[in-house]
């Protein structure tokens, strides 16, 4: 693997805080041309062109691990530098200000809003399986995906509730309609697992990789075309 700054795809760092399917996310990003390091080393995370926060598990434990490792402050600092950051599943939920899972817990606060239990009605929790995602507005993250949306693979019991509707990129329905793709500037999150979502998931990871390459090379990332 090339070091940051050498030729090749952009260098992404997967934030290793002890939770989540890090290896499968790493392999998926490498498949679309990124150089990937799984690390909790602060210097390596500061040097990366983009950061990915994966995750499977409970929000309070995840935030405790991030704080103990100093990764919460690192993520906020890199967000302030306009570094592209992608949260996946629990990683998306951690981007919000707080969660009600298990006990009220403060999150990273990179996207205004909170994480609450799904109102699934008579449907079973957790929400597991493929579900159609509708794109509510253009985003570089959904560039090249079919309009008005396509299915992705979900596994979760809670969902992020952005305070600003403008931060919602995509929604899906499971008892209620909820945000499953969010974006606030350089901060992006997906509730589903793109690494488990076949060709469409890989296209999304490729789009994030291009965003990181554009930042590394000092080029603006072209916005997605307006969808009908």
State the first-to-last Cα distance of the chain, in angstroms, to the nearest integer: 41
**What strands, in cross-sheet order, belong to the sheet with 158-162?**
105-106, 96-99, 111-117, 158-162
| Pairwise CA distance, residues 71 & 74, whole Å | 5
DSSP state for residue 175 in the 8-state scheme = S
Query: Known catalytic residue: 184?
Result: no
Catalytic residue among 11, 89, 136, 200: 89
The reply to whether omega before 126 is within 30° of 0 (cis) is yes
Query: Known catalytic residue: 195?
Result: yes
Catalytic residue among 156, 184, 193, 200: 193
Query: Known catalytic residue: 150?
Result: no
Give the Å distances, CA to CA, from 126 to 27, 133, 155: 26, 17, 7
Give the Å distances, CA to CA, from 164 to 160, 161, 182, 183, 187: 12, 9, 10, 10, 14
Catalytic residue among 101, 114, 136, 195: 195
Strand partners, 88: 190
User: Over 99-126, what HEC string results?
Assistant: ECCCCCEECCCCEEEEEEECCCCCCCCC
Q: Which residues are catalytic?
A: 89, 193, 195
């Amino acid at each position: 693997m090339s070091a940051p700054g050498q030729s090749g795809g952009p260098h992404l760092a997967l934030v290793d805080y002890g939770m989540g399917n890090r290896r499968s996310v790493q392999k998926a990003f490498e498949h679309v041309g990124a150089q990937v390091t799984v690390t909790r080393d602060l210097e390596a995370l500061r040097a990366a062109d983009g950061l990915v926060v994966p995750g499977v598990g409970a929000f309070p434990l995840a935030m405790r691990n991030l704080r103990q490792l100093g990764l919460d402050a690192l993520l906020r600092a890199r967000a302030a530098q306009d570094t592209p950051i992608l949260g996946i599943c629990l990683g998306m939920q951690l981007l919000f200000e707080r969660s009600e899972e298990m006990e009220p817990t403060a999150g990273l606060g990179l996207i205004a809003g909170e994480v609450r239990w799904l109102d699934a009605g008579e449907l079973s929790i957790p929400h597991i399986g493929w579900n159609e995602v509708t794109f509510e507005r253009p985003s570089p993250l959904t560039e090249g995906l079919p309009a008005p949306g396509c299915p992705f693979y979900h596994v979760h019991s809670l969902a992020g509730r952005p305070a600003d509707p403008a931060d919602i990129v995509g929604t899906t329905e499971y008892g209620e309609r909820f945000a499953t793709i969010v974006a606030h500037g350089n901060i992006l999150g997906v509730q589903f697992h793109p690494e488990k979502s076949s060709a469409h998931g890989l296209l999304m990871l490729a789009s994030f990789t291009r965003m990181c390459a554009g930042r590394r090379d000092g080029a603006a990332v072209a916005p997605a075309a307006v969808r009908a």
